Structure 1
Amino acid sequence: MNNVFPTLSQDSPAATLAVTWRDAAHQQAADALARRLQLPVGPREQIDAELILQCADDGLSLIATEAGAPGAVRVDFVEGALAHRRQYGGGAGQMVARAVGLRGAIRPYVLDATAGLGRDAFVLAALGCEVMLLERQPVIAALLADGLSRATRAGGEVAEIASRMRLLEADAIETMRDWAGPVPQVIHLDPMFPHRDKSALVKKEMRLFRPLAGDDLDAPRLLSEALALASHRVAVKRPRKAPAIEGPPPNAKLEGQSSRYDIYGRRKLG
């Protein structure tokens, strides 16, 4: 019951993955997901894999099986940290909002080309932006799609926010190069940074995702395509002390306690 899911970085070790279900009611969904991702599927006790995708009442979760592993990762736009951030996070004063140029009534059309778990995209959508999300890693994209689906089913304000988010599972470099459709005014990038300091791997998402996606060693190409496509600006999220991505220097920077944004302006939003 062991299978290797292909990673997208040759510099990252492949992780074995499988799909399971918490109870029988979700076995059919688990079977369908396993077929789509071409992964083995079975009861939890019969699975021998380093990472497990589990279908359950509370959504799709990614779980590491090694001793001392971090807890499960699940995308939840309805409750928890993102609900708190939506209500009390500081609105348009948040760093990501300032980085993409929100002010007054200005709400640009944003392409989040490295969507991950969709947290930054959700904040921008909650503030009124239409956001296209690109995620090239199929497992991460599946978690994000599940979170968006549950947000839509929840109704109310969260469903309205989710309606402004459109997810596409695709390689960002290829998609931006061959872009068809309305040109994004702003492109948001948050490439996986090749950390060498073990303390930087504290977040459980980082520990689980790195074996899947590796580091974005093609970040210079990602930035280049973003600069060629965005009509107004590109905002790149970086660890606060990390160097800028190789390429043209940013026009401005926004710094927080642990991260910063490098801003590449092309024209004024307004």
Structure 2
Amino acid sequence: MARSPKLCVCACSATLQAPAEALAQRLGLLFCPSSEQAQTAGLYLRYGEHGLALHDGENPQQGPVYADFISGKLGYRKTHGSIRHEAIARAVGLKGGHRPGVLDVTAGLGRDAFILASLGCHVTLLERHPIIHALLEDALHRAQQHPPTAPIIVRMRLKHSEASTYLADLTPAQSPEVIYLDPMYPQRDKSALVKKEMRVFKQLLGEDEDAAQVLQQALGVAQKRVVVKRPAKAEPLGGCRPSHQLMGSSTRMDVYLLG
């Protein structure tokens, strides 16, 4: 279940103060005039050099958590990604000219959704936590202003919603071809970046307790398949055996074929 730790919003400069204040008002958070004041609140949002970022005032050495579709690994994979090299592409059923519509019910910072969108899929992203949703919304906005990524972002549609509520409200005509889940699982990746993000996310979200329930809903809604990203050695989510698996070094894709 989502937690609500005390947070505030600040800006690194006077020119960013207006959007910071507007975001604080929208999220019902306190606005802090300076980063120094914000650090005393523990977790805080800051408009700065990377756009909107989430900081941990109690652990400033670990650096900020933010979504980014322009640079880093995602920038490289935008140019060099392919169906053959991306396990997620094979898992959701990309082949030839076919690009299924995908509903990502656990968007997080949007990395997997961006990979699928860069390969031609239209992806609807669900994020239930307002703070993570704000980080993702800011990253999408920045990428829309960047000519190399703008055509990809057009294929990504973000919604602020609980997965279970969204799935329950879908009509048969709105049923997505593919549903993708990546439940929070701290032990999956030992990289410094993911460990940092998981520490912060756990403070916000607590445990991802409804993932097995969402899988069952997804199996009753998706047209063709449901894909669940899991640690390589973990049991299938909720004990539900997939049709087949695509193995990686640290993760795997459990694929449930339907119909």
Q: TM-score under structure 1 normalisation?
A: 0.88
What displacement does 1:230 show?
A: 0.4
CA distance in 1, matches of 2:132, 2:7: 13
Q: Deviation of residue 49 (structure 1)?
A: 1.2
CA distance in structure 1 between the partners assigned to 2:141 and 2:43 by the alignment: 23
User: Aligned pairs, how many?
Assistant: 255
**Residue 154 of structure 1 corresponds to which residue in structure 2?**
146
SS of residue matched to 1:16: coil
Matched letter for residue 29 of structure 1:
P
Please state whether the residue corresponding to 1:85 is helix, strand or coil.
Answer: helix
2:220 corresponding residue in structure 1: 228
Change (3 A) 1:56 1:176: same
Q: Deviations over 1:36-67 (max 9, x none)?
A: 11111112122221111001253101111124
Q: Which residue of 1 is the match for residue 80 of structure 2?
A: 88
Q: Structure 2 counterpart of 1:184, which letter?
A: P
SS of 1:60 mapped into structure 2: strand
- Given the alignment, which residue of 6, 15, 32 partners 2:5? 15
Match of 1:208 among 164, 182, 200: 200
After TM superposition, give the deviation of residue 198 of structure 1 in Å.
11
1:79-105 residue CA offsets vs partner (Å, 9 max, x unmatched): 222101212244443111111111111
CA separation of 1:227 and 1:198: change in aligned 2, threshold 3 A: closer
Q: Percent identity?
A: 45
Give the 3-state SS of the residue equivalent to 1:26 in structure 2: helix
Residue 32 of structure 1 pairs with residue 22 of structure 2: yes
Aligned partner of 2:41: which letter?
A: A
Q: Does 1:192 align with 2:212?
A: no
The answer to whether the Cα contact below 8 Å between 2:143 and 2:149 also exists between their aligned partners in 1 is yes
- The separation in 1 between residues aligned to 2:207 and 2:15, in whole angstroms, is 36
Q: Where does residue 167 of structure 1 map in the other structure?
A: 158
Q: Does the C-alpha gap of structure 1 residues 93 and 178 become closer, same or farther in structure 2, counting only changes over 3 Å?
A: same
TM-superposed deviation, 1:188: 0.5
Aligned partner of 1:145: which letter? E
Question: Is the 2:212–2:238 Cα contact (8 Å) retained in structure 1?
Answer: yes
SS in 1 for 2:246: strand
Q: What is the rounded CA distance, in whole Å, between the counterparts of 1:77 and 1:193 in structure 2?
A: 23
Conserved? CA contact 1:194–1:215, under 8 Å? no
Q: Distance in 2 between matches of 1:167 and 1:65?
A: 28
CA distance in 2 between counterparts of 1:240 and 1:77 reads 26
Give runs of ≥4 in structure 1 deviating > 2 Å.
Answer: 88-93, 197-203
1:107 maps to: 99
8 Å CA contact 2:42–2:58 kept in 1: the answer is yes
Q: Which consecutive residues of structure 1, in runs of 5 or more, have no partner in the other structure?
A: 1-6
In structure 1, C-alpha distance between the alignment counterparts of 2:67 and 2:61, rounded to whole Å: 18
Q: Secondary structure at the match of 2:174?
A: coil
Shift of 1:247: 4.9
Q: Structure 2 counterpart of 1:163, which letter?
A: V
Distance 1:192 1:21, change over 3 A: same
Which deviates further from its counterpart, 179-188 or 146-155?
179-188
Most deviating of 109-118 and 86-95? 86-95
Whole-Å separation in 2 of the counterparts to 1:227 and 1:198: 26
Cα RMSD (Å):
2.0
1:33 to partner: Cα distance: 0.5
Q: In the alignment, which residue of structure 2 is the partner of 1:62?
A: 54
| Change in CA separation of 1:198 and 1:245 when aligned onto 2, cut-off 3 Å | closer
Q: TM-score if structure 2 supplies the norm length?
A: 0.92
Residues 198, 262 of structure 1: CA spacing in aligned structure 2 closer, same or farther, 3 A cutoff?
Answer: closer
Range that drifts further, 243-252 or 134-143: 243-252
Please state how far the C-alpha of 1:110 moved relative to its aligned partner.
0.2
User: 1:168-200 CA deviation, whole Å, 9 max, x = no partner?
Assistant: 0100011001114632100000011265x9968
Which residue is 1:46 aligned to?
A: 37
Say whether 1:240 aligns with 2:222.
no
